[in-house]
Amino acid sequence: MVLFDQVSVQYDTGPQVLKDISFTLAPGSFHFLVGRSGAGKSSLLKLMYLGLRPSSGLVNLFGRDVATLSRADFPAIRRRVGVVFQDFRLIEHLSALDNVALPLRVAGVREADIRRHCSELLSWVGLADQLNALPATLSGGQQQRVAIARAVIARPNLLLADEPTGNVDDVIGLRLMYLFEELNKLGTTVVVATHNDALVSRFTHRQLRLEQSSVRVFDPAGAGPGQAAPGMGAA
């Protein structure tokens, strides 16, 4: 599903943000991505949704080496990836429902089905009364839930969530995690980047730990720290 081999990232003339990172994500796996602020979590996620090219090394998504992809290949890959951005990136002139509907409209789903699916999911995340609200009229936590609903509505193969519980209270945070777990049970590979150690410790999912530009795979359910190498550890 995802393979990184000796991947490094450097922005312009700055220091290396990620250095020789190698890991694999097996289809259907669930990982937390943890590390202090500035450790490179968002950069690593960007590599997985074609938002950034590695400075060196190999990134393989869905069996394709991203270095060999042309711009024309991007939309098909991106349709398979749901992203919850740290800053939400909702379309300001569209209602909550129409923001969530975007991936389904791109996929050509029937309008009646779109309205039904989107209202059901928005109700499930506690926004039944805000279907027609514009993003600017919603709180940060409500906008975050709209962003999450938009990322999961089309059941992506890969879900990447950047601090998806950063703006909500613990109860809603847990509910959103359960939503990700449900999606994972249906086959979606999930990566959740978070600072929230308390949340991470409630689950036994594997962790990609970013420290000093390197990644280490930790399996709380297993024998302890593992090595991060292609074809093992996170698979």
Ligand X SMILES: Nc1ncnc2c1ncn2[C@@H]1O[C@H](COP(=O)(O)OP(=O)(O)OP(=O)(O)O)[C@@H](O)[C@H]1O
Contact 159, 189 (CB under 8 A): yes
Stretch that binds ligand X, among 11-19, 23-31, 93-101, 177-185 (CB under 6 A): 11-19
Distance from C-alpha of 136 to C-alpha of 179, rounded to nearest angstrom: 25
Distance from C-alpha of 209 to C-alpha of 76, rounded to nearest angstrom: 29
- Single out the residue of 8, 43, 119, 184 in contact with ligand X (rule: CB under 6 A): 43
Q: Which is nearer to ligand X, 38 or 231 (CB)?
A: 38
Q: Which is nearer to ligand X, 19 or 95 (CB)?
A: 19
14: contact with ligand X by CB under 6 A: yes
Q: Which is nearer to ligand X, 9 or 122 (CB)?
A: 9
17: contact with ligand X by CB under 6 A: yes
Distance from C-alpha of 100 to C-alpha of 82, rounded to nearest angstrom: 12
29: contact with ligand X by CB under 6 A: no
Q: What is the DSSP letter of 69?
A: -
- Single out the residue of 21, 34, 39, 208 in contact with ligand X (rule: CB under 6 A): 39
- Single out the residue of 19, 31, 41, 205 in contact with ligand X (rule: CB under 6 A): 41
31: contact with ligand X by CB under 6 A: no
Q: Give the closest residue to 131 by CA, choosing from 121, 88, 169.
A: 121
CB neighbours of residue 139 within 10 Å: 11
68: contact with ligand X by CB under 6 A: no
- Single out the residue of 42, 130, 165, 189 in contact with ligand X (rule: CB under 6 A): 42
208: contact with ligand X by CB under 6 A: no
Q: Nearest approach, Cβ of 190 to ligand X (angstroms)?
A: 17
Which of positions 76-95 make contact with ligand X (CB under 6 A)?
Answer: 86
Helix (H, G, I), strand (E, B) or coil at 211: strand
Q: Nearest approach, Cβ of 126 to ligand X (angstroms)?
A: 25
Q: Nearest approach, Cβ of 226 to ligand X (angstroms)?
A: 21
* Residues pairing with 192 in the sheet: 32, 161
Contact 89, 150 (CB under 8 A): no
CA 119 to chain centre: 22
DSSP H helical ranges for 133-233: 140-152, 170-185, 197-201
Distance from C-alpha of 230 to C-alpha of 235, rounded to nearest angstrom: 9
Stretch that binds ligand X, among 34-42, 98-106, 109-117, 222-230 (CB under 6 A): 34-42
Residues lying near ligand X in the complex (CB under 6 A):
11, 14, 17, 35, 37-43, 86
